[in-house]
Amino acid sequence: MTSEATDTFILDPVVLVRLDDTEDKLGVVTAGEGPQEALIVFRGPEDAQGYQRTTGKHTTEEGFQLVGMSEEALAALLDKHGLSWVAMPEPWTGEESSGVDLFSRENFFRFLEECAPA
């Protein structure tokens, strides 16, 4: 997202999570497999909702919730699931996705710092 007044990129990280009652653990949406499996982090709630609407996947009806994440919460979630990568889809506009940005954990947190409001 960008702010038109200042042309500044604003990032409000959101993940889709679901509590798995049978295993008493928090499920997250990931992409890929093995050592490059990545946590999918959306730029904001609108992008996450657009993803759900466009793909029909990981919906509220399936028990997924949109959760805004602080840097500390994202770090804890990555640690809990043993993930070292973050995938950030381009905004979902109802057309084909224009791609996914893949970040190493370190680069993603650097990116978050750069996007933080001054």
- pLDDT tens-digit profile of 64-103? 999 999 999 999 999 999 999 999 987 655 555 567 889 9
pLDDT of residue 90: 75
Decide if pLDDT at 38 tops 60: yes
Decide if pLDDT at 111 tops 60: yes
Residues 20-34 as b or e (16 or more Cβ within 10 Å = b): eeeeeeeebbbeeee
In this prediction the pTM is: 0.82
Mean model confidence pLDDT for the chain? 84
- Angle between the N-to-C axes of helices 71-81 and 105-115, in degrees from 0 to 180, rounded to the nearest 10: 170
Q: H helices within 19-116, ranges in order?
A: 45-55, 71-81, 105-115
pLDDT of residue 89: 85
> Domain locations in the chain?
22-115
